[in-house]
Amino acid sequence: MSSYYEASARERIVGLLDGGSFREILPPGERILSPHLLQLDTPAAFDDGIVVGEGALGGRKVLIAAQEGGFMGGAVGEVHGAKLVGLLERALDQRPAGVLLLVESGGVRLHEANAGLIGVSEIMRAVLKLRGAGIPVIVLDGGQFGCFGGMGIVSRLCDAVIISEEGRLGLSGPEVIETTCGVEEFDSRDRALVWRTVGGKHRYLLGEAAHLVADDIAAFRAQAIAALDLRPDLSLEALEREHAVLGQRLDRFGTCRDGIDIWRNLGIDQPERLPLLEAEAFIAITAGKRA
């Protein structure tokens, strides 16, 4: 077992892809860093917190991007966003088997908030355009900072989210909600509550994530290889089906106060034990019960 959660962006890429196949584009030696951070006397990074490149996965060509949570929580600034947009557009030209997005981000980087927000919007458009061209985009979510803000929206534009129990996925982070609305709305220090709300197991049961894996780079790799066979479907019928599913979610779970209420509603016996289960046992026990 090699922990995905503990690994850096580059370690994750190397562990996921076929041995020796990764080639980085605009590596740190190119010194493409954020001028906006420098202007605010904030330390910059030579890759602006995102690694992009190409390689092979199970013998098939892929493009890959990995956000580095260790740099500003993986937040999106102008350069960071542009690197991701450029990679998605490169995929339009090169037509790889798929694009892997190793997300780990708090969303827009406040130091360059406007550039970050517009950058996220460009990423959204580029993901949709690429999927429209028939190339699957697969999200891996299992890093220390989770996936929030605009990147939380981006992730759900993709073909599949592969998440670990440690992964988190949402829009407004618990701290943001607590700061704005008070601790009674969301106690961000109640870790169990955070996991039951935005954690990997809940996202998997709700259908927001396609697959749950153990915190193991090899497990992510196996699931990502399988996901390359997905075929993007942006037809009106596909979106009408998704609309029906999301409508049912509102009707069925709209009054639930906690993840446990939702899991009980799904017909899962003793739902309070779910957080304690290992991924494999959890998947077995919840089989056929997902929303």
Q: Which is nearer to another protein, 133 or 284 (CB)?
A: 133
Instruction: Provide, rounded to whole angstroms, the least separation between the CB of residue 71 and another protein.
Output: 15
Which 129-148 positions form the footprint of another protein (CB under 8 A)? 129, 132
Query: Which listed residue (13, 16, 66, 126) binds another protein by CB under 8 A?
Result: 126
Work out whether 64 is an interface residue with another protein (CB under 8 A).
no
* Least separation in angstroms between CB 200 and another protein: 13
Is 54 an interacting residue with respect to another protein (CB under 8 A)? yes
Find the shortest distance in angstroms from Cβ 133 to another protein.
11
114 counts as binding another protein under rule CB under 8 A: yes
Q: Is 253 in the site for another protein (CB under 8 A)?
A: yes
Number of residues that bind another protein (CB under 8 A): 87
Cβ closer to another protein: 40 or 192? 40
Smallest distance, another protein to C-beta of residue 190, A: 11
Q: Could you tell me the smallest distance in angstroms from the CB atom of residue 244 to another protein?
A: 10
User: Does position 157 bind another protein by CB under 8 A?
Assistant: yes
When asked if residue 100 is in the footprint of another protein (CB under 8 A), the reply is no
- The Cα 193–Cα 202 span in angstroms is 11
Contact 9, 104 (CB under 8 A): yes
Residue 21 binds another protein (CB under 8 A): no
Q: Is 49 in the site for another protein (CB under 8 A)?
A: no
Least distance CB 28 / another protein (angstroms): 14
CA distance 157 to 187: 29
Per-residue three-class SS string for the chain: CCCCCCCCHHHHHHHHCCCCCCEEECCHHHCCCCHHHHHCCCCCCCCCCEEEEEEEECCEEEEEEEECCCCHHHCECHHHHHHHHHHHHHHHHHCCCEEEEEECECCECHHHHHHHHHHHHHHHHHHHHHHHCCCCEEEEECCCCCECCHHHHHHHCCCEEEEECCCEECCCCHHHHHHHHCCCCCCCCCHHHHHHHHEHHHHHHHCCCCEEECCCHHHHHHHHHHHCCCCCCCCHHHHHHHHHHHHHHHHHHCCCCCHHHHHHHCCCCCHHHHHHCCHHHHHHHHCCCCC
Binders of another protein among residues 171 to 230 (CB under 8 A) are 171-172, 174, 176-177, 180-181, 185-186, 197-198, 202-203, 206, 208
Map the footprint of another protein across residues 255-284, applying CB under 8 A: 256-259, 262
Least distance (Å) between residue 48 CB and another protein: 9
